[in-house]
Amino acid sequence: MSREPTWRTILHAAEPGVAVAVIAAAVLSVVFIPVLGLGLASGGSFFLVTLLSALTFTAINQAIVAIFQRPGRFAAIAVLVLTLATGIVSTVPEVFSAVEAILPTHGANEALRAIATGTGGTAAGITELLGWLFLGVVATVVVTDRRRTLPAAHLRLSAS
């Protein structure tokens, strides 16, 4: 158990995920901005929303793993599969579409779709992403802090 503050422990643990998020956002933007034919302003917005999305997913993933440990990784993969299924398959059952609307990926889909098509919805998507980012960070801090606290019973000296 480290004596470092919880926030420092979390930042250190998040560094690899944040690095991957930044690289992924840059690569996706480099590929999709020209494919979508986005101008400078829309391209910049696309990159920033992609970066926010990647950072949000990193925070949510870290929170899910902190809360549920190994099964949390499977939950994160299930969210990814559900998001892909509802985005690609048009005949997906309505219940899956309803569930997708409350997942962290929904805000990213809405904001990126709005930027790519030049329609409204970017602000709502960004707001959702910021909410999920906040929730992920707070959950990670709370769970990590509680797990780092040693119960008083563990501090007693044994009578041996």
Closest CA relative to residue 53, chosen from 24, 89, 95 = 24
Element (H, E) at 52: helix 40-68
Closest CA relative to residue 113, chosen from 19, 49, 39, 25 = 49
Task: Specify if 58 maps to a domain.
Answer: yes
Alpha-carbon span 15 to 10, nearest angstrom: 9
Alpha-carbon span 62 to 24, nearest angstrom: 17
List the domain range (segments joined by +) for residue 15. 6-145
Task: Specify if 156 maps to a domain.
Answer: no
Alpha-carbon span 20 to 74, nearest angstrom: 19
Whole-model pTM above 0.95?
no
Task: Specify if 157 maps to a domain.
Answer: no
Task: Specify if 107 maps to a domain.
Answer: yes
Q: How many domains does the chain have?
A: 1
Task: Specify if 122 maps to a domain.
Answer: yes
Closest CA relative to residue 136, chosen from 57, 44, 63, 52 = 63
Please give the angle made by the CA atoms of 121, 122 and 123, to the nearest 5 degrees.
95
pLDDT at 31: 95
| Count of CB atoms situated within 10 Å of the CB of 56 | 25
Alpha-carbon span 11 to 9, nearest angstrom: 6
DSSP state of 101: T
**pLDDT by residue (tens digit) across 28-84?**
999 999 999 999 999 999 999 999 999 999 999 889 988 888 888 888 888 878 777
Task: Specify if 153 maps to a domain.
Answer: no
Task: Specify if 150 maps to a domain.
Answer: no
Task: Specify if 134 maps to a domain.
Answer: yes
Q: Three-state SS for 37? A: coil
Alpha-carbon span 130 to 61, nearest angstrom: 15
**pLDDT by residue (tens digit) across 96-108?**
777 778 888 889 9
